[in-house]
Amino acid sequence: MIELPRMLRTRRPSLITLLAPALALGLAACAGPQPREAAAPAPEPAAEAPPRSADADLMLKLLAAEMALREQDAGAALGYYREAMALSNSPRVASRTAQLARYLGRDELVREAAERWRVWAPEDPQPLRLLGLLRLEAGAQAEALALLAEFVEGSGATAEAFEQLLADLRQSSAADRSLAVGEALAERFPDSPDAQLALGRLALWEQRYALVDEAAARALALRPDWRDAWFLRAEAQRRSGDEVAALETLDQALKSQPADYELRLQYARGLLGAGFSEQALAQFRRLLRQRPADARVLYAAGLLALETGEPEQARGYLLKLLELGEQTDAAQYFLGRLAESEGDLEGALRWYGRVQGGEYQARAQLRRPAVLAAEGNLAGARKMLAELRNAQPELAMQAWLGEVALLREAGARDEARAMLDQALERHPGEPDLLYSRALMAAEAGDVARAEEDLRAVLAGNPDNARALNALGYTLVDLTERVEEGFALIRRAYQGAPDDPAVIDSMGWAHYRMGELEQALDYLSRAYELYPDQEVGAHLGEVLWQLGRREEARAIWRAVLERDSASPAVRETMERLTR
């Protein structure tokens, strides 16, 4: 039997694909013993047509229904099917009438057709499903449960029956009562792991995570090696905010089924999502030993190897993707990034030039000017960015900001500021341009300009954490308006409590207010998250003022080992130690 797509009422498919061609149905519905060959009948008077048989009428209705479906006229098709149902006792005609009526929300006709379908095909459980859903939507829960339980039983309590019912309940106007149905069916079929899993999935939709765990536990007691039940339990734990418990659940499942590829893949993805990059990479490597040509795993392993500082491993995985013809644009882009990080600028340009489409084409186009500038061809880089702005307006903002960044790195700060002025003439009020110009003004000590631009950004978006933080930090660091700046930084912290830049600003504000212990707490956290030169300079200064001078020197030395220039650290050291 051909069923309606499960997403029927959330996105309508093409009507001609909704039902099987009516012609084939008509032939099946009308087929019967064929008459023997007979002598040609005597000719009738020309003015009279021969009488049509009921089978011929049925065939015409079905053909008309098919044509209406081809024209995407569901209402007309339903009318023809209803007329065909009146001419036939075919369960297939009743089935199609019921399902198309359900699609159109014609509940009375659904009921009529499903009742006929039930009489004409008493062994078929499907009409019970439709009748049960109608009763549930009408509020007759007890009747609905009886019909739906009969449907499940008549279907052999198969996984397919529960999956079909789950989809129906999710799309039903009575979705708010679906959990009660799931609980009743789980109780009615206590020895069916599929019934327990169905309840767990319904509970997951309702965010009843404790009930999910109970249902998954019952399913696993009945079927201990069931991957879907392990996945369900882990997903509920993840959604409830307990990433560690979710990983422990998947780890426990893997211990009993170490060869289960999909289970290990899910575990690796969980590790990656939780930020355990090295452990995730180890799992992806194990997966590749099982299936060396799995593009999903090669791609993830390649990026992780790049992130964890294993360039040769990354190169091997990415080249394998190219060999397989999978994820080619992404692979070529990251091979370009790898070449760039190794100082192979010509190689980087070649790889970037091969990226042909998708999101990585834009990234490659924006990286190529940076490579040219690194080769010493700043003029060529700027020309490339100007051409990119003209040819692809959707990348214009990134191209403007990219050119400003190249000029700043080249020490041409006046030219960079002029470039931002020019960009804002063409794109007045653009927040990213205003923010960049404000940062440059603050660096130059022009607090008035910085404040003007940042307040313009906040006028359009008062909760912009980045702008709140930048303005607050500027006031704290460069003026005596420390309390005012701290209030802005605190608002930024409420919106972005895990942003190391905001945490650093909180620490620096406390330092400027003379609250050294609070400053130390924030700055230590910021440095742990992002040990850059400015955070290191701030943390070292607070430690110095607390009398912990060896610790301060150790922080500064660590920063200088990573970046010998580190102007923020050098200025702080000279100021405090002279």
**Amino acid identity, position 100:** L
Determine phi and psi for 356, rounding to 5 degrees: -105, -20
| End-to-end Cα distance, the chain | 88
Single out the residue of 157, 90, 86 nearest to residue 117, CA to CA.
90
**369 in any annotated domain:** no
Q: Kindly list the distances between the CA atom of residue 466 and the CA atoms of 212, 303, 518, in Å, as whole numbers in the listed order.
A: 39, 28, 22
Q: Kindly list the distances between the CA atom of residue 46 and the CA atoms of 39, 56, 413, in Å, as whole numbers in the listed order.
A: 20, 21, 98
**3 in any annotated domain:** yes
- Each of the 578 residues of the chain gets a pLDDT tens digit; together they read 223 233 223 333 343 333 433 333 443 344 333 333 333 233 333 334 444 456 788 899 899 988 988 988 989 989 989 999 998 899 999 999 999 999 999 999 999 999 999 999 999 999 999 999 999 999 999 999 999 999 999 999 899 999 999 998 888 888 888 899 999 999 999 999 999 999 999 999 999 999 999 999 999 999 998 999 999 999 999 999 999 999 999 999 999 899 999 999 999 999 998 889 999 999 999 999 999 999 999 999 999 999 999 999 999 999 999 999 999 999 999 999 999 999 999 999 999 999 998 889 999 999 999 999 999 999 999 999 999 999 999 999 999 999 999 999 999 999 999 999 999 999 999 999 999 999 999 999 999 999 999 999 999 999 999 999 999 999 999 999 999 999 999 999 999 999 999 999 999 999 999 999 999 999 999 999 999 999 999 999 999 999 999 999 999 999 999 988 899 999 999 999 87
Largest CA distance in the chain: 126
| Residue 359 confidence (pLDDT) | 86
Residue 375, judged by CB atoms within 10 A of its CB (0-12, 13-18, 19+), counts as middle
**63 in any annotated domain:** yes
**59 in any annotated domain:** yes
**111 in any annotated domain:** yes
**Alpha-helical segments (H) within 14-104:** 15-18, 22-30, 54-70, 74-86, 91-104
Q: Is 13 left (phi over 0), alpha (psi -120 to 50) or beta?
A: beta
Q: What angle do CA 138, 142, 147 make, to 5 degrees?
A: 85
Tokens of 303: 């990026």
**88 in any annotated domain:** yes
Q: Tally the domains of the chain.
A: 1
**178 in any annotated domain:** no
**93 in any annotated domain:** yes
CA 251, 253, 259, 264 torsion: positive or negative?
A: negative
Go through 108-139 and write b for each residue having 16 or more CB atoms within 10 A of its CB, e for each that does not. ebbbbbbebbbebbeebbbbbbbbbbbbbeee
Domain containing 2 equals: 1-27+55-124
Q: Kindly list the distances between the CA atom of residue 215 and the CA atoms of 45, 111, 190, 257, in Å, as whole numbers in the listed order.
A: 75, 33, 11, 21
Q: Kindly list the distances between the CA atom of residue 137 and the CA atoms of 111, 174, 291, 516, in Å, as whole numbers in the listed order.
A: 12, 5, 48, 64
**Amino acid identity, position 58:** L
Structure pTM? Answer: 0.70
Element (H or E) spanning 305, and its range? helix 295-307
Residue 273, C-beta contacts closer than 8 angstroms, at least 6 positions apart: 243
Tokens of 403: 């050119």
Whether the CB-CB separation of 200 and 215 falls below 8 Å is answered with: yes
Tell me the per-residue pLDDT of 34-57, one tens digit each, with 9 for 90 and over: 333 333 233 333 334 444 456 788
Whether the CB-CB separation of 333 and 363 falls below 8 Å is answered with: yes
CA 471, 475, 478, 479 torsion: positive or negative?
A: positive
Determine phi and psi for 306, rounding to 5 degrees: -60, -45
